[in-house]
Amino acid sequence: MVKHDINDTIAAIATGVGESGIGIVRISGKDALAVADRIFVSRDRKNPSTFKTYTTHYGWVAAGSKVIDEVILTVMRAPKSYTKEDIIEINCHGGILALREVLDLVLENGCRLAEPGEFTKRAFLNGRIDLAQAEAVLDIIHAKTDSALKISIEQLRGALSSQINKIRKVLLDILGLLEANIDFPEEEISHINSKEILQKLNTINNELKDILDTSKQGRIFREGINAVICGKPNVGKSSLLNALLKQERSIVTPLAGTTRDTIEEIIDIKGIPIIIVDTAGIIEPRDLIEKKAIQRSRRYIDLADLVILLFDGSKRLTKEDEALMKRIKRKNTLAIINKIDLKQNIEKGRIQRRFNQVINISAKKLKNIDLLESAIANLVYNGKISHSEPIMVSNLRHIEAIKRTQKLIAEALNSLDNKLSLEFVAQDIKDALGHLDDILGRRFSEDLLDKIFSDFCIGK
Ligand SMILES: Nc1nc2c(ncn2[C@@H]2O[C@H](COP(=O)(O)OP(=O)(O)OP(=O)(O)O)[C@@H](O)[C@H]2O)c(=O)[nH]1
Ligand SMILES: [Mg+2]
């Protein structure tokens, strides 16, 4: 990625590829208006550089006498724009060719193609948002459920940043008090000061703990959990996937061995993104494809956070069921007896003895699917979640930085307790401040920025 070059003007297609009603070419930088002047012909022949900010204008994009597209052009002047620079957005027709031609023309007329995430990177480098907020933009784009979206929007609005800033301010106050005492070593740290410092550090310690307490849930909401449906052939695994998805995704037939490969989908169960996999039930492979499918299913089962083990309630347990029960002894397993709409022949007691929880459903008749969903949510939440609590932190980078901060605060408290030199305490607090600065991007390395923004799409 170009190193901090924010003096040139960048452009990119900001909308997704493929056919759509409208596509947007976005330009940002000091020459944005000049570039627009060169390529845009408004109905009244006025130049975009004369347009007021936050106004839209009808016209054409043209290369000399060649008209490329009929467009609407929007002007957003610095500093009140996404990047804090002059921005031009051109709403073209959504076909990839029209968009491509407009972009090419823009590039020929003085812009550089933007790197992934470079608009948001500029918003950060120009000081409109901090790094945690910039990362929230990416999370909003990637959000898989309403809850994940809500966390990201809160983060973009500054919920985490303002909490971190508040803690930062208190640490700076403490550092001031400490340094005053270090500068005048002959005057012992006053009793009042030391009490005040202790109190403030303890409060910060608790606040950091509260934030970290939300991180486990936060990560689940952000990244989701991996679940796998397994069971011998024909028990109704694909029917269950379809029931959970509320659509016919996986092929269901009365024939055993219908699903020959793993099928992966994302479902939203009470706000948690669950990446759910329907596996092939095959036990005796007939060919190489089936052999590979079995290997794949096994790998999924080994990696899964949650295993949904399915049985056919209308049949007696077979040695295939027994083999699976033996294989899957993990804690996060839900045993499900399917086909309860049929006469039940299964030895239920045998299953109950092995698993804490056994749920009866009918995937075909959509019976008790809601019970299964609640059971999944309970397992994930460990029965402890409260939806009303704002979830502050979900990003691993932030979580690590907060953990390090907390460790240093604990060390500072320890040093104070043991009456060690105040310089040690001050150093811990300085280091703690450094980690908080990392979260906000007050301190950053080029590598970190590259890592964060390269995950973005071009045009954002
Ligand atoms: N009566 C009844 N039939 C069901 C139920 N769930 C699934 N079935 C039927 O069982 C048969 C097998 O269902 P699938 O969902 O294909 O089973 P599977 O476990 O994916 O099978 P494989 O992919 O072959 O391993 C189909 O005929 C389904 O309609 C149920 O709850 N009740
Ligand atoms: Mg199947």
pLDDT digits (tens, 9 = 90+) for 279-335: 888 777 788 888 888 888 888 888 888 899 999 999 999 999 998 888 887 668 899
Does residue 252 form part of some domain? Answer: yes
Are residues 229 and 373 part of one domain?
yes
Number of domains, the chain: 3
Per-residue pLDDT of 339-380, as tens digits, reads 999 999 999 999 999 887 899 999 999 999 999 999 988 887
Sequence-distant (6+) residues with CB within 8 A of 107 are 11, 113
CA 162 to ligand 1 centroid distance, Å? 52
User: Which amino acid, 17?
Assistant: V
Highest mean pLDDT, choosing among 229-238, 247-256, 268-277, 371-380: 229-238
SS3 content of the chain, % helix, strand, coil (to 5): 45, 20, 35
- 3-state DSSP call for residue 23? strand
Does residue 50 form part of some domain? Answer: yes
Q: What is the pLDDT at residue 382?
A: 66
Are residues 413 and 307 part of one domain?
no
Q: Give the domain CATH number at 21.
A: 3.30.1360.120
257 lines ligand 1 (CB under 6 A): yes
- Given ligand 1 and candidates 364, 365, 366, 368, which is best to mutate, with the most ligand atoms within 8 Å of its CB? 364
434 lines ligand 1 (CB under 6 A): no
Highest mean pLDDT, choosing among 15-24, 28-37, 250-259, 372-381: 28-37
| Angle CA 422–425–431, to nearest 5 | 140
The protein residue with its alpha carbon nearest to ligand 1, atom 26, reads: 254
Sequence-distant (6+) residues with CB within 8 A of 199 are none
Q: What is the pLDDT at residue 143?
A: 86
Domain that includes residue 167, residue range = 145-214+393-441
Are residues 114 and 57 part of one domain?
yes
Say what the pTM is.
0.76
Looking from the CA of residue 259, the nearest atom of ligand 1 is 23
The protein residue with its alpha carbon nearest to ligand 1, atom 10, reads: 236
Are residues 430 and 351 part of one domain?
no
Looking from the CA of residue 367, the nearest atom of ligand 1 is 31
Looking from the CA of residue 251, the nearest atom of ligand 1 is 16
Are residues 161 and 233 part of one domain?
no
Does residue 24 form part of some domain? Answer: yes
Are residues 292 and 273 part of one domain?
yes
Higher pLDDT: 39 or 185? It is 39
- Given ligand 1 and candidates 237, 239, 320, 321, which is best to mutate, with the most ligand atoms within 8 Å of its CB? 239
A 10 A CB-CB count for 404 gives 16
Looking from the CA of residue 232, the nearest atom of ligand 1 is 25
Per-residue pLDDT of 409-428, as tens digits, reads 999 999 988 888 888 999 99
Are residues 164 and 210 part of one domain?
yes
**Kind and range of the H or E element at 76?**
strand 66-76
The protein residue with its alpha carbon nearest to ligand 1, atom 23, reads: 259
**Kind and range of the H or E element at 297?**
helix 288-303
